[in-house]
Structure 1
Amino acid sequence: MRKRLIQIFGFLVSSLGWVFVLCSMAMDYWRISQIGGQGGSFIIKVAWYWSNLWKDCFTDSTAVTDCRDYGVLWSVRYVQAVRGLLMCGLTIGFFAVTCCFIGMECTYIGGEQQTKDKLVVSGAVFHFVGGERGA
């Protein structure tokens, strides 16, 4: 019974870490900077520049937002490295969640106990390699 509880808790925590990595891919405000607002009215001269992994945006004081998508994926060096690492981590994390789910003691898929234990260990290794270390 204790082994099952530990496996279920570990599965939930590691799956939650995978979901957090997935959510970070969709966040809009990775980098924010304020432009203007010095020596005059904040209403007229202020604007915000923000970007994420997919686009650059510019919002002025009238709340008009102008966005530019990254046209060529390999044109931005550092953004591409982060984007690639996150996608690799998500793919490896998906395999980790699948291996851990099949290998848990409380599921009826996966065969005999020794095979299930190997699946759980390989799922844990995939989680560490993919970067999802839990909440």
Structure 2
Amino acid sequence: MKYRTMVMYMEIGCFVSCLCGWILVCSTLPTPFWSYSENSGSVMTTADFFSNLWQDCVSDNTGASSCKGFPSLMALSGFLHVCRALTICAVITGFFGGVLTLIGMKCTKIGGSEIANARVTFAGGLTYMVSGFCGMITYSWWANKTRTEFVDPLFMDAKRELGAAIFIGWGGSILLILGGAVQTYFSGKEGLPSGSQKEHRRPGSYAWTRQTYMLPAAASRMSLGSPLLYEGRQSRTTRATTKTGRTYSRDNFV
């Protein structure tokens, strides 16, 4: 299998992985089960309390549930504001990461040259990783707050446990981070070559020609120039010596 074909299949796999992770992260926004608690008294008074970023809900033993949104945006704690902002950033950056990946993938052929497509794919992988880290910070922070309140003996409010949305968000964030990291690694090798790779490109490139042809040619001229120059000087010296060293006898003048 050719390297280009392998990279193309890898890009498709990373895109599917990141897309699934982004869908999982988006699904946690309307899900109310971020944290929950049970009030298990008698059969008639059993009730479940659960909440998310937007509202608090209660459900009784008959299956009827009632939800109420937070009454005032300005009265919310900074914790909820930051969690909302990070979750929305995870959704937005994941969307743009998908757009950039679709443009730069080798199988779509939307972009320009191979290097340009690799750079666009590299940017898409980084955007996917940003989305995954935003989601991971949000879910981990929420889980840590819920656990801290649960084990705190001085916390007098109802103690809650982790809901299903936290685990779904963790899974989606991991898919985004892993898929974006693999995509960034392979596309970065092709689109952002290092200094040594720039100087040792394939035959036909300027850097390869400069190192392979110009420097050896210069070395050959230097190595061949000295013997030729020496032979020329030696020949002229020999001719001069022969001319000046000629002897004449008496018979030559007679």
Q: CA deviation at 1:44?
A: 1.8
CA separation of 1:134/1:58 partners in 2, compared to 1, >3 Å: closer, same or farther? same
Q: CA deviation at 1:20?
A: 1.2
5+ residue gaps in structure 2?
A: 133-175, 180-254
Is residue 121 of structure 2 the alignment partner of residue 120 of structure 1?
Answer: yes
Aligned to 2:29: 25
Matched residues, percent identical? 27
Instruction: Give the RMSD, CA atoms, in angstroms.
Output: 1.7
Distance in 2 of aligned mates of 1:26 and 1:64:
18
Is the contact between residue 56 and residue 67 of structure 1 (CA under 8 Å) also seen in structure 2? yes
Q: Secondary structure at the match of 2:56?
A: strand
CA separation of 1:62/1:27 partners in 2, compared to 1, >3 Å: closer, same or farther? same
Q: CA deviation at 1:63?
A: 3.0
Is the contact between residue 55 and residue 67 of structure 2 (CA under 8 Å) also seen in structure 1? yes
Q: CA deviation at 1:94?
A: 0.9
Q: CA deviation at 1:103?
A: 0.2
Aligned to 2:70: 70
Q: CA deviation at 1:81?
A: 1.9
CA separation of 1:83/1:6 partners in 2, compared to 1, >3 Å: closer, same or farther? same
Is the contact between residue 16 and residue 134 of structure 1 (CA under 8 Å) also seen in structure 2? no
Aligned residue-pair number: 131
Q: Secondary structure at the match of 1:43?
A: coil
Counterpart amino acid of residue 57 in structure 1? C
Distance in 1 of aligned mates of 2:10 and 2:35:
38
Between Structure 1 and Structure 2, the one with more strand by share is: 1
Q: Secondary structure at the match of 2:27?
A: helix
Distance in 1 of aligned mates of 2:71 and 2:80:
13
Distance in 2 of aligned mates of 1:50 and 1:71:
17
Between Structure 1 and Structure 2, the one with more helix by share is: 2
Is the contact between residue 91 and residue 131 of structure 2 (CA under 8 Å) also seen in structure 1? yes
Is the contact between residue 18 and residue 134 of structure 1 (CA under 8 Å) also seen in structure 2? no
Q: CA deviation at 1:69?
A: 1.0
Distance in 2 of aligned mates of 1:43 and 1:72:
35
**TM-score in terms of structure 1 length:** 0.87
Counterpart amino acid of residue 54 in structure 2? W
Structure with more contact order per residue of length (Cα contacts < 8 Å, sep ≥ 6): 1
Aligned to 2:14: 10
Q: Secondary structure at the match of 2:28?
A: helix
Counterpart amino acid of residue 26 in structure 1? P
Q: CA deviation at 1:134?
A: 4.9
